[in-house]
Every structure is written in structure tokens, then in C-alpha cells.
Structure 1
Amino acid sequence: MVEIGATVIEVYMRYLFDYLKMANMVKLVGLVDPGQVNSQSGTLSHRSKHLSESLKKADGDQFDLVPYNLGGHWVLIIVRPAKETVYYMNSLPNHSVDEDMRNIVNT
């Protein structure tokens, strides 16, 4: 039960990008670098700014996938900037939304 690192997530995201490209769906999904928004990646301000810059590049009704490490556990945040909607995907039952991630998204 060793935690997977951001590099493993990034490799999977690269595979996902290639698959989306092959299916001509690249413009539907944006991918945010998990190394720039994780709790170990600097100040809340830095992480919020990086997410904001990524979301500004959103194309129309695109979904942005934001992998986030809570510290020993990965969750997926799905942001739809055009609809101002955020989905929080956590495989562990009965866990509330991480306050740090909530602050990053709200900021």
C-alpha cells in the first residue's frame, strides 16, 4: 500500500490526452498539472493562481480535471468553468470535501 506519486498521475494523464486526441475530444477536457495544485506544492495563493490560469484557458463548455493529493489519498476535482460547477470525486466513503481544496477552488 505505497502511495502513488504525481508522476504516475501525470503519466496516466498523458495516456488520457492521447486517447482524447485519437477520439477527437481534446477540446472537451482540460488537464491541470497535479504537481502545481497539491497540498505539498507551495502556498494556497500559488496553487489558486495556477488553477485560475489553467481555468482561464478553458474552451467553451470544457471539463477541467484536477487530480489532488490529500496527503496519502488522491481525489479528482472536475471543474466546468462555463457552468461554474465543481464536482468532487472521492473513492473513500463518508469523507467530506477537503477544506484546502475548497479554498483553492473558491479563490
Structure 2
Amino acid sequence: MANMVNLVGPVDSGQVRSQSGTLSYRSKHLSDHLKNADGDQFYLVPYNPGGHWVLIIVRPAKETVNYMDSLPNRFVDADMKNIVNT
């Protein structure tokens, strides 16, 4: 239980939003966080594709990404998909 706080790594949403610069800049910011992942750690990346917030959960050790959107029938935001893929 004491180590649970180290399992979650937050990512500054201001650094990955579309107004924060080029795709490569935003990808590098996310990559820098993921490089420092320790074991089973995961990262919470809040992101606003326009109009509402979504949550991206990245688990580097498992190489998984979950895109959590509370609105039904929505597609994964292409901009965020490019950031994560890069």
C-alpha cells in the first residue's frame, strides 16, 4: 500500500495539448516521462481534444494505451494518437 503512490505518474496536460507546439515537441515531452517509468508504473495524461476532457492511461512496461472518453460513439483523437504513436 505504501508504494501505491509511486505507481501513478502524472503528465502535464499543458505540454501535450495542441496549442503547446509541434507534434514532435509534444511527443518528446510524453516520451521523456515514459522513459522514467519504473516497473509497473502507469501515466495519466488528461487531454482536451475540444469541448471536453478525455483521459489517456499509458503503461510503458505493458506497452498499452487506454483512451477513456465519457462521450459515446467517439473516435480516438487523431492528434493524441499521433503523439502516443510517435
Counterpart amino acid of 1:101?
M
Shift of residue 70 of structure 1? 0.5
Higher relative contact order (Cα pairs below 8 Å, separated by 6+ residues): 2
Q: Give the alignment's TM-score, normalised by structure 2.
A: 0.94
Q: Give the alignment's TM-score, normalised by structure 1.
A: 0.76
Compute the RMSD of aligned alpha carbons.
1.0
Counterpart amino acid of 1:94?
N
Aligned residues: 85
Mapped pair 1:53 → 2:36: no
- Deviating above 4 A after TM superposition, structure 1's stretches of 4 or more consecutive aligned residues are none
Conserved? CA contact 1:39–1:71, under 8 Å: no
Gaps of 5+ in 2: none
Partner in structure 1 of residue 77 of structure 2: 98
Q: Percent identity among equivalent residues? A: 79
Gaps of 5+ in 1: 1-22
In structure 1, the residue corresponding to 2:20 is in which secondary structure? coil
Shift of residue 26 of structure 1? 1.7
Among 32, 41, 48, the alignment partner of 1:62 is 41
Shift of residue 27 of structure 1? 1.4
1:2-45 CA distances to partner (integer Å, 9 max, x unpaired)?
Answer: xxxxxxxxxxxxxxxxxxxxx63221111000000011211111
Mapped pair 1:88 → 2:67: yes
Greater radius of gyration (CA): 1
